[in-house]
Amino acid sequence: MTSTHLAPPAFISNQVTKSRRFYRELRPRIKPALTVVCGGWEQCAPDYRLKRGDFPYWSLEFVAGGEGDLVLAGKEHRLERGVVFAYGPGVPHEIRTRPESPLRKYFVDFCGQGSAAKLVAAGLAEGVCRRLGKDDEVRLAFDQLIGEGLKTSLRAERLVTLRLETLLELVGDGAAPAEARAWRAFQTYQRCRDILEARAGELRTADAVAQASHVTSSHLSRLFIRFCGQPPYQVLIRLRMNQAAARLEEGGRLVREVADEFGLDAYHFSRVFKRVHGLSPEKFLKNRAGFGLS
């Protein structure tokens, strides 16, 4: 049974000043599939302290703001924005906020066969607490999860599960290095990546991205190879061709017009588009027409 307005169950802390929570399967039957139990966002009270020796479900928590301390499987960690951690059956944990800067955090509790394996795949084996690089994406994913969790539609259960799976993928993809020097380099990479993504339409070369990011071209290349596994130009080309595909999907434009928009002649544009998407722009449009999408 699903409810979004019940009083919090016993395992949910009431040491909060604000919260936005949902409750789905508080008494889940044994299921082979991933099942979301509950989740939400909460602003902790200055005296927030939660200590458990066990927990009936698997839980993923993400710190959106504030500061605190965590003892997870006997190891101590500092909690601050961007930190993510998980626990579950048989994993003792203690969460404390710092009164001068109360924690604001998201959580989702879930169960089902393969739950532990999914956390391991996301880089959160038992006792692991780590920092994410691009935490805004995880925050948005949690907000979307809560939004679906508060719905009562027939498809809400499946949509909530899909949101959780997406969230776990983002967490797995968003790991940031722990060592201080590497962390600074990662932050520089993220800044450069943000600029590249925001201005891919106008920045046509890796040198232009480097100039806009105020780093040298060689440094930009090293950062992308280290943290992305691809040179910046390849990332830029893929983004530009994704934008080109979106322009073509809008309809009403010739291939040469889209090519002109991206500063390429039609022949070169077609070659690059095919290299990225596996088919020419003309074939792309033909396929969409065949599926009734244009």
Question: Where does the pLDDT of residue 286 fall: very low under 50, low under 70, confident under 90, or very high at 90 and above?
Answer: confident
Which pLDDT score is estimated for 177?
A: 62
pLDDT band at 4 (very low <50, low <70, confident <90, very high): very low
Q: Report the percent of the chain where pLDDT is more than 90.
A: 47
Domains 16-173 and 180-290 share a fold: no
Superfamily of domain 16-173: Regulatory protein AraC (2.60.120.280)
Phi, psi torsion values for 205, nearest 5 degrees: -140, 160
pLDDT in tens, 90-139: 999 999 999 999 999 999 999 988 899 999 888 887 778 988 876 778 88
Q: Which long-range contacts (CB under 8 A, 24 or more apart) does 10-17 make?
A: 11/52, 11/55, 11/56, 12/38, 13/42, 13/48, 13/50, 15/44, 15/45, 15/47, 15/48, 15/49, 15/50, 16/42, 16/43, 16/44, 16/45, 16/48, 17/43, 17/44, 17/45, 17/102
Q: What is the pLDDT of residues 167-191, one digit of tens each?
A: 999 898 876 666 667 778 878 987 8
pTM: 0.62
How far apart CA 25 and CA 156 sit, in angstroms, is: 12
**Where does the pLDDT of residue 217 fall: very low under 50, low under 70, confident under 90, or very high at 90 and above?**
very high
Residue 32 has pLDDT above 70, yes or no: no
From 18-32, 203-217, 251-265, the region with the lowest mean pLDDT: 18-32
129-131 sheet: strands from edge to edge: 16-23, 35-44, 104-111, 58-65, 83-87, 129-131
pLDDT value at residue 292: 46
| pLDDT at 243 (0 to 100) | 87
Domain boundaries, the chain: 16-173, 180-290
Handedness of CA 147, 150, 155, 160 (dihedral sign): positive
pLDDT at 105: 97
What pLDDT does residue 28 have? 60
- For 214, residues 6+ apart whose C-beta sits below 8 A from its C-beta are none
Check if the beta carbon of residue 53 is closer than 8 Å to that of residue 74.
no
Mean pLDDT over residues 149-173, rounded?
88
Per CATH, is 180-290 categorized as 1.10.10.60? yes
* Residue-level pLDDT at 67: 95
Q: Name the DSSP letter for residue 99.
A: T
Tens digit of each residue's pLDDT (9 = 90 or more) over 43-97: 999 999 999 999 999 999 999 999 999 999 889 999 998 899 999 999 999 999 9
